[in-house]
Amino acid sequence: MISGNARSVLCQVKYCHKYITLKIVDNKVLTVNSLWKSINRDALRDHRLEENDSYWELITGYGTLTVREFKAHFGDFAGGPTSFQEQVNCDKRIDKCPIDGRIESRDKLIYKMNSTHRAQNLIHNILSMMVQIKQAINWREKELEWKTAYTNQRFNDKCGAKIADMKALMSPTDYKEWLEVEHKRFKDLQGKAITARNWAMRLYAKFGLIVLLDPRWNPEVYGKSNHSDTFAKFLNYMDDHPIMREVIGNEVAEYDGNIEEIDGKTFVDHHAGNERENNKMVLGIVRFITKDEDVVGHIKEFIKKKVEW
């Protein structure tokens, strides 16, 4: 256990002969501004560093949010030019301006278009991750025989035309060797996708809806090959050595995560109690950007389904 009771704790966790650093600061929470910075950052660093920062955000969680904060950071982009036609119309209007005005107006349009797309992509990321976590849950429920048959059928459906062509062109021996290689390649890709979805499901089971806000955990954006080579061991290590804090009030009565008694004091996971505000953040940003209660309601239904790891 790593305690986070001090005002500021710098946690160095060693795994696979490497150190990761997590800075846990009491009473510090994520904000709408944190989310805005997150979706606008370019992930150009080492995967391990990005994973560390994203994991820290899962532990930290969001504080109480207001509509005013949403408007301040996303207000200009929630109703921006999202369709191709809207973008063309904006550009046409700028074409009619004097050249000095055109340059300034296009600078503003470029920024607004990029920011609008990033805001839209945030919603796509939330919905995509929700679907993939559901897929991981359903996949886990099926028996091995069914999974094998399904994977083989998927291979035949996707590669059927190519299989027929190669069978006609190759000798039986060469065709058999080729088919084995192609089938293995397909199974490997399928396996990597399943692994990445399982990681997302595992994080969701532990931290809840906040996982959906970060593209770093999206299997379609960062698949198994786009994680650090020690990521699986990192997850295992953090599960075995959770970052914890001393309980507040009677929260133990309703908490079903890690609870430890040390020297007469009770400790829980550092992220305990964050779920309510994290859920508000996700539902709030979806509502603010989409203006669609059906979408919000669909995510609410997803929240009701308890996921165990």
Q: What residues have CB less than 8 Å from 3, skipping those under 6 apart?
A: 9, 243, 244, 245, 246, 267
Query: What pLDDT does residue 12 have?
Result: 43
Model confidence over 64-102: pLDDT tens digits?
A: 888 888 888 888 777 655 567 777 888 898 898 888 888
Residue 256 has a pLDDT of 83
Among 31-35, 108-112, 298-302, the minimum mean pLDDT is found in 108-112
* DSSP conformation letters of 199-243: HHHHHHHHH-GGGGG-GGG-TTTS-GGGS-TTHHHHHHHHHHS-E
State phi, psi for 177 to the nearest 5 degrees.
-65, -45
Is 114 within 8 Å of 87 (Cβ atoms)? Answer: no
Strand partners, 20: 13
Phi, psi (deg, nearest 5) at residue 20: -120, 150
pLDDT value at residue 255:
84
Q: Is 220 exposed, middle or buried (0-12, 13-18, 19+ CB in 10 A)?
A: middle
Look at residue 18 and tell me whether its pLDDT is greater than 60: no
Residues 204 and 307: their CA atoms lie apart, in Å, by 8
Q: Model confidence at 14, in pLDDT bands (50, 70, 90)?
A: very low
Range name among 78-82, 174-178, 182-186 with the lowest pLDDT average: 78-82
Q: Are 210 and 282 in contact (CB under 8 A)?
A: yes
pLDDT reported for residue 11:
43
Picking from 52, 197, 206, the residue whose alpha carbon sits closest to that of residue 137 is 197
State the pLDDT at residue 73: 82
Instruction: Quote the pLDDT of residue 79.
Output: 61
Domains of the chain, by residue range, sit at 2-139+194-304
Q: Report whether 9 contacts 248 (CB < 8 A).
A: no
Tell me what the mean pLDDT of segment 202-206 comes to.
96
Confidence check: pLDDT of 261 > 60: yes
User: Do 205 and 308 touch, CB atoms closer than 8 A?
Assistant: yes
How far is residue 218's CA from residue 126's CA, in Å, rounded to a whole number? 9
pTM, two decimal places: 0.82
pLDDT digits (tens, 9 = 90+) for 264-295: 888 888 899 899 999 999 999 999 999 899 99
Q: What percent of the chain has pLDDT over 90?
A: 39
- Interval 234-263 mean pLDDT: 86
How high is the pLDDT of residue 207? 95
Give the separation between CA 295 and CA 285, rounded to whole angstroms: 11
**pLDDT > 80? residue 121:** yes
User: For position 6, what pLDDT does the model report?
Assistant: 37
| DSSP labels, 82-145 | -SHHHHHHHHHHHHTS-HHHHHHHHHHHHHHHHHHHHHHHHHHHHHHHHHHHHHHHHHHHS-HH
